[in-house]
Chains A and B, each alone.
Chain A
């Protein structure tokens, strides 16, 4: 059973460009979580999605950031007009249900560098 897949693993963008980060959850998992790790910081929650629904986006910046998890295909975290402060590692996790006893399984992360 393949784990959580994220691509690309490394992404370099210039200021003002768009970044698209993809996450394919584990087979059978319909709950996806995105976390961001800024340099010298712990992972911080950004957004929680189920298929076709955003459940909680309280950790996501209000501007330039959006996330989706369509019925078919991977979850996408989209950052428009990137700035240097967006440079970070972005981790995706998935779980089979959204209950408090669920284990979240993490992908290897996408390391975004904004020049």
Chain B
């Protein structure tokens, strides 16, 4: 079945440091890929997404590129801020057909950014 593996945390960085959170996936067909963020006490919010190979999703300074050859969707940000402290989830949704409404999530990575 489909699965998502993301780097284990916690990740602790200083403000303005470069961030990478690795995410790889296993899926049949051509899934859509997502990064969700969960701030303390809140629900998951969609951060960015990509629906086909070589697409780059971006939002709030975060980027991720859909790499089919390496089955990866790594999250990056050039300069993190304290307000980026949250849990980040990588997820996929199956392509056309079948149960393409189900999201499959990684375990989440806790990011703490210190001033």
Contact = CB atoms under 8 A, between A and B. Distances in A.
A108 B41 CA distance: 7
A91 B44 contact: yes
Contacts of B41: 108
A100 B95 contact: yes
B43 A56 contact: no
Contact of A106 (B44, B94, B96, B99): B44
Contacts, number: 65
Nearest to B93: A100
B44 A45 contact: no
Interface string A12-37: 00000000000000000001010100
A115 interface: no
A56 B99 contact: yes
Contact of B43 (A3, A48, A102, A103): A3
Contacts of A40: 107
Given A3-B43, A42-B89, A106-B36, A48 B101 contact: yes
6 contacts: A35-B103, A42-B106, A42-B107, A56-B102, A91-B43, A100-B94
